[in-house]
Chain A
């Protein structure tokens, strides 16, 4: 980390988005994570995505659990309310927050310890409930803040810096999310901003539970040879199934795509995701196909990345709860309190 504070004055010529905000308006205070940490690259991707989408920062609520990854919401979207909750329990806090006000954008940031170990239950149930959110796991396979213990996503046979070999089977959160009914599932790599930024943009615009597993090397405890979450390993074994562009309005397909190499997915709000297929046979609208493919490639030691599954017309928590369109936190006394006359009738029925 650096001790130098960020300058408060911005260059007048910084590019602005549709709201007139510069990229700097989406930043937070300077990160305190280790220099070279993959998580900082993810923060940068989040900043880029929200700036490009021209989302008012104050309409975003960012929530996290505990751990290195959960510290990061401090370092982006400084004009958003943030909540550093308890270890493994971000999903429930986010679910409650979402129930209270359906009009905000919810960004949950978690880690592999936070979501795959202590918080596996809450991770699973937030997917089941279709909470409208972007859920990012910054996945480095180790516990950083407690100095390098393996987490539940560490691959079997991977070697810790101390020489200890992990003998337990790994949990693949992407596979779980697919099985549990998440309606937008992706994996990316913190070192691949070109892939990650549009994935975040698409996830923000998706209605329902959007999950992105981002492999994010821990430069201090898990970036050595023998690790399957190191920069070198992921670069060598990255099996990207597609690249995507997020397009706000339907536009004609540019002529330079080879035929059959483009797939379009409509978003709930009328926007469009255009996928440039890297594997012609991979279909991200086929949940079962995605699950099979992930199993096959994992057996081969590959890390599958890209948009793995999307179901654009998903129902979310509020659809299932059948809540009113006004946020629950904005309902008035008259809308909530039945009053004395109703109470008198209630009493009368109990005599």
Chain B
């Protein structure tokens, strides 16, 4: 039987029972490989449940550095008898299955094209530990030890990671116990199992990059963005974002002399109250945000419209997931694009940011607050579960200490005192953005009454039609202005001239990059554009114009990005070809390549002969 032989290029999948404490052991495994300088792409595939249901963790060991899920498994760590059968079936021919050999194997047809690797984990644990919970927890560390032995993961690396995890005197006994469990697994496997065809070999492929999830990154981004009020309501998969904000605030925003907080963190009674508090705080001059998912955005619709018409800065992080209600809360999708772009009643359009990884979750998470103040409107940052809740290997976060918060057009006491004309909805600069005042600024000037749409340029109540239209047209001018502030698309030409292009946003970028390389190897060349924000800059329409066909890749059923492009850029729908994936699992390069190659064949996407006249996009980002 031929076995798979691979170095630094294989997938290990852990099949566990949730609530069994496997997550930290599996994370330790991934980090150990990173510390050996070999990139990994990890995905947690988890149920909507706290304890007892199946859960999986995939570690793709990938020296080439691809960040998406690949599909397929070379080594299954089968720790859940309930899913044994399907887990076994998922392993590639010639692959390996690691299991606890204390008890007899579950009754299931055995495959003859895989290698079984049994370690009596339960037995070793029973001998070593008396406590039931300890037996469970240390079993996890023990299998990490055994895997380290058979895959060639360096023992010292794991020891070092454990030392960091259990730092401090009070944790010394825990450190020793964990090291011991690791050693028991490692020694047993070294003694009883042969090294297998899958190897981790030390490289220098990780560099400066860090391993973090997008929600933690965005929460820190909000700290750096100067947010002081966070109002939120728990909802998967966004909850860890505000929790990250609070954790980092307690660390960075606690006044040293008094122990008091330079932030407010309010868990609201529902999403309506969350966004209401954000609107109130934004109106009153604080930088405020909420974090939620699609169902929360649905509930916030009325307030989002009010904030749009009353021109109140607000930031909303939407960590997208399968919806509605209990549908697929722990599965990823990009299904809220239209919901966010046109949120609320009346004529509304909103500014959206599309981070592609945790690094951009941090940078856009901070930038969103400048945009909200500058444009005086709600700003949506659209993450999804794949970015938000998965740890990614990503570029380190950077900050320029000379940077200052852009509070936008705010009239101060001195401005008002000097007699400057103040009209809350007066377009002084021709960019559609009016000046505002914060409550309490000046004893005699600058006060105004905030309402929805019934107002004139000086915020006086009116129901006059022409005045309404005047204000609505100004809001359109402001939206046009937004194009010059939001991040522009990132464009990159194919290796060879081509008439076809591809557009995507957000987490799709990870498998997309890999897929483009695969397609190129097959002779399918695509110019590429990653959109980073809505409203779309003019470069987006120009990109589509320059191609005969453009694939629009996204993770929802209806092709929402495609619809938005057609609608907002007046594009011929025939030119935009949807590539969709929406089963809730992280998108894979295998899937994308197959889909695009099939459709590309229909459109005859072959390289252009190098003759003059074809439009070549320029590499780089338009800002």
Contacts and interface: CB of A to CB of B under 8 A. Distances in A.
Contacts of A82: 447-450
B122 interface: no
Interface stretch (A41-49, A97-105, A208-216): A97-105
Given A100-B284, A121-B273, A351-B211, A78 B440 contact: no
Contacts of B278: 96
A79 B35 CA distance: 62
A50 B262 CA distance: 31
Given A336-B226, A337-B226, A350-B210, A81 B439 contact: yes
A343 interface: yes
B449 A74 contact: yes
Interface stretch (B52-60, B397-405, B469-477, B608-616): B397-405
Contact of A101 (B224, B253, B277, B285): B285
A92 B268 contact: yes
A73 B447 CA distance: 13
Contact of B443 (A79, A85, A340): A79
A351 B206 contact: yes
A325 interface: yes
Contact of A58 (B35, B280, B442): B442
A343 B398 contact: yes
Interface stretch (A4-12, A109-117, A194-202, A326-334): A326-334
Nearest to A74: B449
A203 to B, nearest CB: 19
Contacts of A347: 208, 210, 396-397
B6 to A, nearest CB: 25
A305 B264 CA distance: 36
A73 B451 CA distance: 12
Contact of B264 (A58, A81, A83, A323): A323
Contacts of B229: 96, 99-100, 328
B447 A325 contact: no
A329 B443 contact: no
Interface in B543-602: none
A104 B255 contact: no
Contacts of A343: 224, 397-399
B241 interface: no
Contact of B223 (A89, A318, A338): A338
Interface residues of B, number: 74
B276 A92 contact: yes
Given A338-B224, A343-B398, A80 B447 contact: yes
Contacts of A103: 440
A142 interface: no
B438 interface: yes
Interface centre among A63, A86, A89, A350 (most CB of B within 10 A): A350
Contact of B280 (A73, A97, A328): A97
Contacts of A321: 261, 264-266
Nearest to B303: A86
A190 interface: no
Measured as residues with beta carbon below 8 angstroms from the partner, the interface class of chain A is 35 or more
A91 B269 CA distance: 12
Contacts of B327: none
Contacts of B404: 333
B147 interface: no
B277 to A, nearest CB: 3
A81 B273 contact: no
Contact of B461 (A57, A74, A85): A74
A340 B401 contact: yes
B224 A99 contact: no
Interface in A61-101: 61, 63, 73-74, 78-86, 89, 91-101
Interface string A338-351: 11101110110011
A292 B272 CA distance: 33
A61 B228 contact: no
A125 interface: yes
Contacts of A1: none
Contacts of A61: 284, 439-440
Given A92-B276, A125-B268, A99 B286 contact: yes
A223 to B, nearest CB: 27
Contacts of A78: 447
Given A79-B443, A322-B259, 4 more contacts: A95-B231, A95-B273, A95-B276, A122-B269
Give 10 closest A-B pairs by Cβ, nearest first.
A92-B276, A96-B280, A100-B286, A96-B277, A81-B439, A329-B285, A93-B280, A96-B281, A350-B210, A100-B284
Interface of A: 56-59, 61, 63, 73-74, 78-86, 89, 91-101, 103-104, 121-122, 124-125, 129, 317-318, 321-325, 328-331, 333, 335-340, 342-344, 346-347, 350-351
Interface of B: 34-35, 206, 208-212, 220, 223-224, 226, 228-229, 231, 248, 252-253, 255, 258-266, 268-270, 272-286, 288, 302-303, 306, 396-401, 403-405, 437-444, 447-452, 461
17 contacts: A58-B440, A58-B444, A61-B440, A81-B438, A81-B450, A85-B306, A92-B279, A96-B283, A97-B283, A99-B288, A100-B280, A322-B260, A323-B262, A325-B260, A328-B262, A337-B403, A338-B248
